[in-house]
């Protein structure tokens, strides 16, 4: 693995998701080689045949992974707690990932999942303040369609 983390290969760059709200391109040491090379390397690992959620999730091939979170309330109180809410979501997800690997000697899959978790947080007061579920659903569907 001689390439730097900041310059993924063409193959891996195409499969990696990047959201415009992120200030920089997402990267991770496991994703500096092509999809096929990474899969071949992972297939050689002892954990590859474990029946555990992290290994099954890693087979999906979508990186990074996370939630799309819409902020729909903009009040002075929500301004004070918004970052704490995002932090709580992140901590809960990472805790669940860690719990999934506690019964295994090799926690590499959980480490990779935890390190590749990245949410897309959509904050636009003019667009999303008091948005309905219907509005959010329509935007989310449009977002998914734009990825195809």
Q: What is the pLDDT of residues 16-73, one digit of tens each?
A: 788 888 888 888 898 888 888 988 999 999 999 888 899 998 887 778 999 999 999 9
Strongest mean pLDDT among 12-21, 54-63, 78-87, 104-113: 78-87
Mean pLDDT of 100-115: 89
Whether the pLDDT of residue 89 is over 90: the answer is: yes
Whether the pLDDT of residue 4 is over 60: the answer is: no
Does residue 17 fall inside a structural domain? no
Does residue 41 fall inside a structural domain? no
Q: Total structural domains in the chain?
A: 1
Does residue 77 fall inside a structural domain? yes
Per the rule left: phi > 0, alpha: psi between -120 and 50, beta: everything else, 24 is beta
96-129 residues labelled b (16+ CB within 10 A) or e (exposed): ebeebbeebeebbbbebbbebebbbbbeeeeebe
Whether the pLDDT of residue 8 is over 70: the answer is: no
Per the rule left: phi > 0, alpha: psi between -120 and 50, beta: everything else, 97 is alpha
Structural domain range at position 86: 52-146
Does residue 114 fall inside a structural domain? yes
H or E segment and range at residue 70 = strand 68-70
Residues linked to residue 16 through DSSP beta bridges, in sequence order: 63
Are 112 and 58 in contact, with CB atoms under 8 Å apart? yes
Whether the pLDDT of residue 6 is over 50: the answer is: no
Does residue 43 fall inside a structural domain? no
Structure token digits, residue 50: 């474990």
């Amino acid at each position: 693995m001689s390439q730097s983390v900041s310059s993924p290969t063409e193959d891996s760059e195409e499969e990696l998701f990047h959201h415009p709200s992120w200030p920089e391109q997402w990267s991770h040491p496991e994703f500096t080689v092509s999809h096929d090379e990474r899969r071949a390397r992972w297939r050689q690992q002892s954990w590859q045949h474990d029946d555990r959620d992290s290994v099954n999730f890693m087979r999906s091939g979508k990186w990074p992974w996370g939630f799309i979170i819409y902020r729909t309330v903009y009040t002075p109180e929500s301004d004070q707690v918004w970052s704490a809410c995002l932090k709580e979501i992140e901590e809960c997800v990472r805790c669940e990932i860690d719990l999934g690997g506690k019964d295994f000697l090799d926690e590499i899959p959980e480490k990779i999942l935890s390190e590749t978790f990245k949410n897309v947080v959509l904050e636009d007061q003019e667009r999303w303040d008091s948005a309905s579920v219907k509005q959010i659903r329509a935007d989310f569907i449009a977002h998914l369609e734009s990825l195809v």
